[in-house]
Amino acid sequence: MIKISKMHQRVARARGAVLALTAMLPIASALAQSGAAPELQSVTVTAQRRSENIKDVPVSVTQIKGEKLDVLVSGGEDIRVLAGKVPSLNVESSNGRTFPRFYIRGYGNTDFNTFASQPVSLIYDDVVQENPILKGYPIFDLAGVEVLRGPQGTLFGRNTPAGVVKFESEKPSLKKVEGYYNATAASHGSVNVDGAVNVPLSEQWALRFSTLRQHRDNYVDNYADTALASKRGSLEGYNEHAERLQLLYTPDSTLSALFNVHQRITSGSARLFRANLIKKGSNDFADGFDADKIVTNGLNFQNLQTYGASARLSWDFGTVKLFSITGYEAVDHYLSRGDIDGGTPGGPGFIPFQVETGGGISGLKQYSQEFRAESKHPGPLNWQTGVYYFNEDANGYSDNFNSSTGAQTSHLASHQKNAAWAAFGSVNYALSDVVMLRGGLRYTNDRKDFNTVSAVNVTQIGPSAVSESKHKVNWDLSGTYKLDRDVNLYARVATGFRAPSIAAASAAVPITVADAETILSYEAGVKADLFERRGRVAFSVYDFEVKNQQLTVVGGNSNVNRLINAAKTAGRGAELDFEGYLSSDFKVSAGGSYNFTEIRDASLSVNKCAQCTITDPINGAGRVVIDGNPLPQAPRWSVNASARYQWPLADGQLYVLTDWTYRSKINFFLYEAVEFTGKSLTEGGLRLGYIFGNGKYEVAAFGRNITDTRRITGAIDFNNLTGFINEPRVVGVQFKGNF
């Protein structure tokens, strides 16, 4: 065997990224010749807590806004629709619309525990949404979404070793009364209505009210037996509404105060688990699969209500600007109940015993406060510094039922108190007209107190209460070099930290604690405006190592959640973002990522699944060795692309737009099994629209997942080959107006 160095191995692995870049050459050639094409508008982001041109920010970041965001959610999709729409981002859930799990560069967490923490932080209007239940707030009336890849721990408040997904609402304006209304009708009785109105109340006060209503009919027929003789009703519908009210107060040029109150109410079907969905010995659908039918005897429903408020104050004193950000988020109640064995005593397929589960939150309150000062000096040196406080109090529970009789078989309620504080600072220094250096430092102290409140028919193993406390200093250092007017090069090294996590006990497993995890990440890239700013490209490469990564072990012969730490996890890859005009009427965009992840812990093993075909080594204890495996839900390749062409017509324009995403295969769990390897997935959208009335109105026909591609996207590691699938094709019409 010929041995090659690690460096040569990495070069070989990067060859795919180079080939992807060469595929852009025909587009680049067309751009070079498109002299009549307009310039792209500058993209401003707040990735470094300041408004900056995206080209000047030494972080791999992508922004989605405007028409692109509107197109993605036109079919009533929830936040999971962002999966694959930017490089290195995946979003999935085993709870449907209410409990999204985020992954950046393959780095995330499959934990479905009520108190789960994630290494990807979601920030909504400068307020962290820590519990996964809070992360599913609907997408409407947004100024934009930013995805920041890599550790962001020195400037953002909570758990950001993998990155940040940052949402920013449209803000009130003192200028005039304005707003929009948007209505969609689509397949499966889907209706989506949202809108906003901005009202200046005086020379100092302005109001903006935004609202969303979403509905889908139950369209999956549920039967009591595999002969499909007796119908039990239908599933997979939902009703959702959300509201946001913002008040802006600007009495003078010094003070700006923005107040925000919001809520969300959701009801409908929980995730549909389908018994023996996967054909034994393969990752294909079992024979007879029908996406519009299910055989299950358990109850299936989901209810959620959340609300919150924030106050963002700023004082501008010329050379220094002060900020106060106060946030409050709450879960009033949450319950998701489903049949995790996925069938009835008669099947489909082999089902050893009947069980359904219900998980919920009886109450959660989260309070956060940040004070920050930012300099605005004309000289080469500028800085930011501040303090941050976070407090969460949560009560959650899990119930088990016999799905044949409906009888409750167990109940376990737990309580978690989490308090953390941090002090942080960062410095920017312009070494010259072409070199900018940046550095940041943050000290974090985090404490969790966890205890079992009540246990019915559960004999708890081990202690009933656990406390964990950790502190850590994080840092980052970056540099930007302006090669010329249009091209910037950057490099960045950063660390990140996630505090210990605690998972509730069960009848079979005690309370488990995962120790704190840390990351060291290296990144370098180029950002450039192309062809007289008719095009824009960003390309980055990265390498990271996580120590003591918190991982979630599930299953074997039960659907139990247990936390462990892997000694090390390695990751490396490349990311590409591109957009440009091929002509004044033809705009294209493309993005892609290569994400390699590997668990490195020879001592780590997990219980094997009951019915699947394991491809990993089995140790002497009959457990699966996961050393060398990729992280779950981490596709090696992902690609996104869109194209929009328009024709002038009457007093407006007719346009056609198509967008596509691809991701390669994924593992559902830490171990590798033939059945629990999700196939690659390609989904596309198509839209034909007409904008008229000087841009005030738009009517469109659209399709999402137009090829109706169906894939198994996740599974339940329980007692059979139960799984769940992606969203169906949606076809509809939309009308939008602005005033």
3-state SS, residue 287: coil
Residue 365, CA distances (Å) to 131, 362, 390, 392, 395 in order: 10, 11, 11, 6, 9
pLDDT value for 23: 44
Q: Poorest-confidence range of 43-52, 431-440, 705-714?
A: 43-52
Question: How many CB atoms are located within 10 Å of the residue 405 CB?
Answer: 10
Exposed (0-12), middle (13-18) or buried (19+): which is 669, by Cβ within 10 Å? buried
Mean pLDDT across 433-439: 97
Confidence label for 558 from pLDDT (cuts 50, 70 and 90)? low
Q: Is the peptide bond before 348 cis (omega within 30 degrees of 0)?
A: yes
Please give the Cα distance from 171 to 504 (Å, whole number).
40
pLDDT tens profile 614-635: 999 999 999 999 999 999 999 9
What's the average model confidence in pLDDT over 416-430? 97
Q: Is the pLDDT of residue 679 over 50?
A: yes
pLDDT band at 557 (very low <50, low <70, confident <90, very high): low
Rounded to whole angstroms, how far apart are CA atoms 662 and 317?
A: 49
Strands 231-235 and 220-223 turn out to be: antiparallel
Mean pLDDT over residues 665-683, rounded?
Answer: 96
Q: How far apart are CA 494 and CA 721, in angstroms?
A: 41
User: What's the pLDDT at 42?
Assistant: 82
* pLDDT attached to residue 20: 43
Averaged pLDDT, 80-96: 95
Which tokens sit at 370?
A: 């940040």
pLDDT of 224: 87
Cβ-contact 673, 624 below 8 angstroms: no
Structural domains in the chain, sorted by start: 6-357+367-738 (2.40.170.20)
The pair of three-digit structure tokens given for residue 188, joined into one six-digit string: 């499966």
The reported pLDDT for the residue numbered 625 is 96
Low-confidence winner among 30-34, 109-113, 477-481 (lowest mean pLDDT): 30-34
Lowest mean pLDDT among 155-164, 209-218, 447-456: 155-164
As a whole number of angstroms, the distance between CA 282 and CA 348 comes to 17
pLDDT at position 479 is: 97
Predicted confidence at residue 423, as pLDDT, reads: 97
* pLDDT at site 559: 63
Asked if the peptide bond before residue 119 counts as cis, ω within 30 degrees of 0, the response is no
- Check pLDDT > 50 for residue 87: yes
CA distance 649 to 73: 26
Q: What letter would DSSP give residue 170?
A: P
**How many helices (H) and strands (E) in the chain?**
3, 43
- C-alpha pair distances (Å), 91 with each of 102, 135, 678: 5, 11, 15
Task: Assign 508 a pLDDT band (cuts: 50, 70, 90).
Answer: confident
> Nearest 5°: CA angle at 484, between 478 and 485?
100
Strand partners for 698: 691, 736
Query: Chain-centre distance of CA 357, in angstroms?
Result: 25
Q: Provide CB contacts within 8 A for 672, sequence distance 6+.
A: 614, 615, 616, 629
Q: How far apart are CA 710 and CA 729, in angstroms?
A: 9
Sign (positive or negative) of CA dihedral 622, 628, 634, 636: negative
The enclosing H or E element of 351 equals: none
Task: Report yes or no: 361 and 393 within 8 Å, Cβ to Cβ.
Answer: no
What count of residues does the chain have?
739
Greatest CA separation for the chain: 78
Q: Which amino acid is at 484?
A: D
Q: State the Cα–Cα distance between residues 577 and 303, nearest whole angstrom.
A: 38
Written as one string, the DSSP assignment of 193-243 is: EEEEEEEE-SSSEEEEEEEEEEEE---EEEESSTT--SEEEEE--EEEEEE
Among the listed residues 577, 591, 644, the one whose alpha carbon sits nearest the alpha carbon of residue 54: 577
Q: Is the pLDDT of residue 216 over 60?
A: yes
pLDDT bracket for residue 17 (50, 70, 90): very low
According to DSSP, the β-strands at 652-663 and 666-667 are unpaired
The pLDDT, as a whole number, for residue 21 is: 42
Which position has the higher pLDDT, 481 or 46? 481
What is the distance between the terminal CA atoms of the chain, rounded to a whole angstrom?
70
- What pLDDT, on a 0 to 100 scale, did the predictor assign at position 159? 81
* pLDDT for 14 beyond 50: no
Q: Rounded to the nearest 5 degrees, what angle is found at the Cα of 296, between the Cα atoms of 293 and 302? A: 95
- pLDDT confidence of residue 594: 98
Residues linked to residue 16 through DSSP beta bridges, in sequence order: none
How many Å apart are CA 181 and CA 734, to the nearest integer? Answer: 11
Q: Dump pLDDT digits (tens) for 589-600.
A: 999 999 999 999
C-alpha–C-alpha distance, residues 598 and 551, integer Å: 13
* pLDDT score recorded for residue 651: 85
| Per-residue model confidence (pLDDT) at position 569 | 98
User: What is the DSSP-derived secondary structure letter of residue 8?
Assistant: H
Q: Is the pLDDT of residue 362 over 50?
A: yes
**What average pLDDT is seen over the chain?**
92
Per-residue pLDDT at 177 exceeds 60: yes
Is residue 186 left, alpha or beta, with left meaning phi > 0 and alpha meaning psi from -120 to 50? beta
